[in-house]
Amino acid sequence: MQGKAVGAAARWRNLRSIARTDGLILLPALSLAAYWLAGEAGLLTLAVAAPLVLAVLGRGKPRAAPPAVAPGLEGFATEARFVANLDRVLDQGVMNARTTACFVLMLDEPDLLVARHGRMVLDQVMLRTAERLSLSLRAGDVVARLAGHGFAVSLAPVQRLDLEQAVQISARLQAAATAPLAVAEVTVHPSVSVGFCLAARAPAPLGAALLDAARTAGDEAMRNGPGAIRAFQPEMVGRRADRSALRAELELALDEGQIRPWFQPQLSTHTGEITGFEALARWQHPKRGLISPAEFLPLVHDAGLSGRLGERILYGALSALSRWDKAGHQIARVSVNVSASELADPRLPDRLKWELDRFSLAPERLTVEVLESVTARSDEDVIVATLTRISALGCGIDLDDFGTGQASIVNIRRFPVRRIKVDRCFVQRCDTDPAQKRMVAAIMGLCDPLGLETVAEGIETPGEHATVAQLGCRHVQGFGIARPMSVEETFGWIERHEKNRVKARQFGRG
């Protein structure tokens, strides 16, 4: 009797298993049998009873597990599954004397990619990058999509893994992710920064701690990028906390005017007169005092506040120019730095015109400074169009940090550049170092035939000032002339400079 009960239970389990697999497979046979035994009445009974029978047979069917992958990235782990896998790998490593590492890859300048090609292209780049990363790894390695525009990679347990090997793996992942991509009839050249942490150096033997440490290193890489690689170090945690606190204060600082332009003068090498001022962002923190631009400008970019900062600096610069006019000072122009993300906005020329009209200033009195790295890219069609419109408006275009990037003459001519700013790395010691002097002379020789004026940055000594003037540089700027100052301080400095210049001219006549 017990054997019969066991057999019946087994048959019932088998029947339920068939129902869970595909209960509908029984319907043709049941329909034929019902019609053979009872005719149309049997078919009608089956039609009513079959759904109930199949529901009973399928009861207890396990619910589908939540998807383990991000939408559009089938086959790749979610962050939660990635951390759970890391926990298992770390536990196995303790028992089997094996180790692992976690890598975080972040796409550089995703906002610029969207502005240039659209959201769909960015989504395709992320999907294709995930596929490339997966193909570059071994069996047992795991790739996950992170929130934002990043990926995490964990390695299967290995017996030995040192810092040098981790750097090599980072470079291999980076190479896989940065090969050119053909997406939607355009060629995209993605750039990624990589941060990693060895399991032995993680703050705690937990998957979440290892991933967070790699993220921290990834943030550090992005601030030193694009295309940088950084290994986790404990002191990064403190820097990250400080930056997080500053980031939270950025919007308030912009609203309250704590971040404002300071001004550094530019002089003519022929007459000594002031030919303009460059507006430089400075943060006067109510508790920490003056914060270095190198410390807060990357945070502005990361927080997506470059546009707001640009508006604040532009307003302050044009306001200062208007105040100098009212005080009777003859300041020809003011220069403002414009980021690549701002230049990717086609509405920028309209905003500049509106602000100039607001202060009743002629467009030629405003100069826009663009980093050389922007012109080094060959696919900046939106930026080229924006700069062309700014030039057509009448504003000047200065190419900043010339000689430190990869700009070619062809790319320079694509932009309506008026002046070249010679980077301070070439100007330093040009009066005492023959090689430095030859470099400055070569730059002058390039610019003169092209009809480009030059500004020597980073002048710190009278000898450097005199040397660049002898080599044909038209304008100079640097600490040797004046450090950046608040707009209030400029009035006194302008008066003192003009008095000294008049005295020098009178002395020369005598």
Q: What is the pLDDT of residues 7-61, one digit of tens each?
A: 444 444 444 443 433 444 455 455 555 555 555 555 555 554 555 444 444 444 4
Question: Looking at residue 112, what is its pLDDT?
Answer: 74
Residues 25 and 84 in one domain: no
Q: What share of the chain is helix, strand, coil (3-state, %, to 5)?
A: 55, 15, 30
Residues 89 and 54 in one domain: no
Residues 206 and 168 in one domain: yes
The pTM for the full model equals: 0.56
Residues 86 and 110 in one domain: yes
Residues of the chain with pLDDT under 70: 1-76, 225, 238-246, 373-381, 403-411, 504-510
Nearest to residue 403, comparing CAs of 451, 446, 464?
446
The structure tokens listed for 187 are 């060629």
Residue 204 covered by a domain: yes
Question: Looking at residue 198, what is its pLDDT?
Answer: 94
**Residues 331 and 322 sit within 8 Å (Cβ to Cβ):** no
Intra-chain end-to-end CA distance of the chain, in Å: 132
Q: How many domains does the chain have?
A: 3
Distance from C-alpha of 160 to C-alpha of 198, rounded to nearest angstrom = 11
Q: Which amino acid is it at 246?
A: L
pLDDT in tens, 265-275: 999 999 999 99
* Helical H segments across 59-155, by residue range: 79-96, 110-117, 119-135
Residues 469 and 329 in one domain: yes
Residue 71 covered by a domain: no
**Domain end point (choices 212, 233, 254):** 233
Residue in the structure block whose two tokens are 């005199």: 466
Question: Looking at residue 10, what is its pLDDT?
Answer: 41
Distance from C-alpha of 286 to C-alpha of 294, rounded to nearest angstrom = 18
**Domain end point (choices 181, 199, 233):** 233
Question: Looking at residue 78, what is its pLDDT?
Answer: 85
**The domain containing residue 380 runs over which residues?**
242-497
